[in-house]
Amino acid sequence: MPDIRHTPIAPTVTRSLAAGGLIDAHRHDDHQIAYAGRGVVTVTTDRGTWVAPATRAIWVPAGTVHAHRAHGRVELHFLGLPTTVNPLGLTSPAVLGVGPLLRELIVACTQEAEADTPERRRLRAVLLDQLRVSPQQPLHLPMPAHPVLLAVCDLLQADPGDDRTLAGLGRAVGASDRTLSRLFRSELGMTFPQWRTQLRLHRALVLLAEGTPVTTVAHRCGWSSASAFIDVFRRTFGSTPGTYAADG
């Protein structure tokens, strides 16, 4: 990840990014919460990518080298927390569920003045309470270090709609399906079908944020039909892709 910079945290920042906008790789001394009030934001580290639409936020621990990318027109809210404050005890990035109250607290804490008033301290205390009960979401797409498995993952990232079996992909990279299956579990902590579904959901969120029609998203991401895509999307995100695209 090039152009690594040491960036002092700006605890209360709201920043607009055009579609495709990138904040280059950097790190902060403090923890950071990145929340996109609209659109989709991804955070990438050497361990993979985390994706968050407007109903999610991304927790980035202090010292983590990471880059942000906007998909669709994005309004980003960055909230910094000192290293002594870690309400979920997380030491690696994570996607958190954001309900209506937490959303308003994040927006308020990133738009109000910086004065350390009793009112502001109470607001942040409630925000921390909400973070402590915020559920983590399985929206991390891990990437491997093993060159053979990385070659398979690169093929699928280039075309999430590629429907080859693991054996077929293995023939393309010179490895058996048994070897690849073992590597998926040992390196990425999930099965091949789980990883491919995660990849497809990540790409679907990006395409929807860019205004791609639902049926086209389903086709490009490898679902057999729009209804099959809608079913998986609803079970993962709690709403249909059409609703999400309209709101994004």
In a shared domain, residues 236 and 166: yes
Domain count, the chain: 2
**pTM of the complete model:** 0.81
Does residue 11 contact residue 79 with C-beta atoms inside 8 Å?
Answer: yes
Pick from 179, 94, 177: nearest CA to 134: 94
CA torsion through residues 238, 239, 241, 245, sign: negative
In a shared domain, residues 13 and 127: yes
pLDDT tens sequence for the chain (248 residues): 433 343 333 455 777 777 788 889 999 999 999 998 888 899 999 889 999 888 889 999 999 999 999 888 888 899 999 999 998 889 999 999 999 999 999 998 887 666 677 888 888 899 999 999 998 887 889 999 999 999 999 999 999 999 999 999 999 999 999 999 999 999 999 999 999 999 999 999 989 988 899 999 999 999 999 999 999 998 888 888 877 664 44
Please name the residue that has the structure tokens 């023939």.
171
In a shared domain, residues 10 and 128: yes
In a shared domain, residues 62 and 157: no
Environment class of 194 (CB within 10 Å of its CB; exposed 0-12, middle 13-18, buried 19+): middle
Torsion angle in degrees (nearest 10) through CA of 80, 83, 85, 86: 90
